[in-house]
Amino acid sequence: MLTVAVTGPTGEIGRPFLAALERAPEVERVIGMARRPLGMAGHDWEKVEYRRGDVLDRGAVDALVEEADVVVHLAFVIVADGGESREINVRGSRNVFDAAAAAGAKRLVYTSSVAAYGFHPDSPQPLTEDVPVRGTRRHPYSAHKAAVEEELVEALEGSETDAYVFRPCIVAGPEATLMLDLVPLLALGQRMPGPVRWALGKVPELRPVLPDPGVRFQLVHHDDVAAALCAAVIGAGEPGIYNLAGPGELTVTDLAHELGWHAVAVPAPQLAVSAAAEAIALMPFLPDQAAWIESVRRPVLMDTSRARSKLHWMPHHDARETLRETIASVRSR
């Protein structure tokens, strides 16, 4: 029976993952730690213990992992000042990696991102796990994800701790709605009075129009990510790096139609989305869930055959189903 320590369980992947650990017969105890409250009300969790703590506090991290058989590192700040976010993401992650190795954990599971590969025009398509992670310097989130993977290799060198690294594409689902929350037109619509939203939905001519450059993107359901993490926790398959993406690919037209909006094909992807992408690039952060803005500018499709063959990972949600569940969750609010 395993004791599992989890950093950052309060996020969009963390909660579905805790639920999955509750169902795993191999797991006896789960100890979670994050800076904000977990909010366990409404969850029938019997294995989960929770404490407040910061990954920058090495003492708190040591206390978290000292009894753990497996350490799962999910903590990663998205919205913060550039210098502060690097401190938390890179140095905080190194604290977790060093502590796990020093405590003799059997396994360390880290959730990276497709963004670690970077958004480069010369990247091969589809991306496989042997493609070097280069990040994209102008997007701190992407750069930090690549840097943390380097820290992981260095921290575990010579240790007995096995590492599983997951690189999911855009994570979505009922509990991971930030991808849609960041669509400006949708966010504006949610703030409109109910009668106005009703009228916009009934009059086709008033519905928003999204430009579609025809570039495909992927989604993965948070429950399928949680299943992959659980497989790593119990030591299924073999340690290593795994891409995660649900079956199927989408375009902006698919997104628009599922929203009940219109889409118009544009012949020049760079011209159509460059202004939006460049505006995002000037921000001090690029959230993981906003990576679709770069994804419609340059394809970042991933090959997931390694996860299927080596880890025996079988996602239960395809991209369109995941998108529909995400939209339904946003609208239910």
Give the model confidence (pLDDT) of 45-94 as tens digits. Answer: 899 999 999 999 999 999 999 999 999 999 988 755 556 788 889 999 99
Alpha helix segments (H runs only) across the chain: 14-23, 58-65, 82-86, 92-103, 140-156, 178-181, 184-190, 194-202, 222-233, 252-259, 269-281, 292-295, 305-310, 319-332
Three-class secondary structure of residue 187 per DSSP: helix
Between 37-46, 145-154, 323-332, the lowest mean confidence (pLDDT) is in 37-46
The answer on 187 and 103 residing in a single domain is: no
pLDDT of residue 222: 98
Q: Is residue 234 part of a domain?
A: yes
Three-class secondary structure of residue 3 per DSSP: strand
The answer on 125 and 265 residing in a single domain is: no
Residues 322, 247: Cα–Cα separation, whole Å:
10
Q: Is residue 324 part of a domain?
A: no
Which of the given ranges, 10-14, 197-201, 211-215, has the highest pLDDT on average? 10-14
Q: Is residue 326 part of a domain?
A: no
Q: Is residue 322 part of a domain?
A: no
The answer on 262 and 240 residing in a single domain is: no
Is a pLDDT exceeding 60 seen at residue 333? yes
pLDDT digits (tens, 9 = 90+) for 106-115: 999 999 999 9
Residues 197, 157: Cα–Cα separation, whole Å:
56
Is a pLDDT exceeding 80 seen at residue 185? no
pLDDT of residue 83: 67
Task: Count the domains in the chain.
Answer: 2
Could you please report the per-residue DSSP string of 99-143? HHHHHT-SEEEEE--GGGG---TT--SSB-TTSPP---TTSHHHH
pLDDT of residue 282: 41
The answer on 208 and 111 residing in a single domain is: no
pLDDT of residue 133: 96
Q: Is residue 239 part of a domain?
A: yes
Is a pLDDT exceeding 50 seen at residue 287? no
Query: What's the mean pLDDT in 158-169?
Result: 97
The answer on 273 and 309 residing in a single domain is: no
Q: What is the average pLDDT score of the chain? A: 85
pLDDT digits (tens, 9 = 90+) for 238-255: 999 999 999 999 998 999
Q: Please enumerate in sequence order all residues whose Cβ is within 8 A of that of 225, keeping only pairs 6 or more positions apart, or say none.
A: 13, 16, 17, 111, 166, 168, 171, 244
Q: Please enumerate in sequence order all residues whose Cβ is within 8 A of that of 328, keeping only pairs 6 or more positions apart, or say none.
A: 174
Q: How confident is the model at residue 159 (pLDDT cuts 50, 70, 90)?
A: very high
- CATH code of the domain in which 151 resides: 3.40.50.720
The answer on 182 and 103 residing in a single domain is: no
- The pair of structure tokens assigned to 186 is 């949708």
The answer on 138 and 31 residing in a single domain is: yes
Q: Looking at the chain, how many residues does it have? A: 333
Query: What's the mean pLDDT in 184-201?
Result: 53
Q: Is residue 328 part of a domain?
A: no
User: Which of the pair, 283 or 292, is modelled with greater confidence?
Assistant: 292
What range does the domain containing 280 cover?
178-215+251-294
The answer on 168 and 68 residing in a single domain is: yes
**CB-side exposure of 99: number of CA atoms within 13 Å?**
27
Q: Please enumerate in sequence order all residues whose Cβ is within 8 A of that of 104, keeping only pairs 6 or more positions apart, or say none.
A: 160, 161
pLDDT of residue 183: 64
pLDDT of residue 134: 94
Radius of gyration (C-alpha) of the chain in whole angstroms: 20
Query: What's the mean pLDDT in 90-101?
Result: 97
Residue 282 neighbours by CB distance under 10 Å? 7
pLDDT digits (tens, 9 = 90+) for 206-223: 567 777 888 899 999 999
Contact present, 119 and 274 (Cβ < 8 Å): no
Query: Could you give the percent of the chain with pLDDT greater than 90?
Result: 62
Q: Is residue 330 part of a domain?
A: no
Is a pLDDT exceeding 90 seen at residue 165? yes
pLDDT of residue 279: 44
Q: Is residue 321 part of a domain?
A: no
DSSP state of 173: B
The answer on 273 and 161 residing in a single domain is: no
Contact present, 11 and 78 (Cβ < 8 Å): no
The answer on 151 and 24 residing in a single domain is: yes
Residues 158, 168: Cα–Cα separation, whole Å:
27
The answer on 198 and 98 residing in a single domain is: no
The answer on 141 and 46 residing in a single domain is: yes
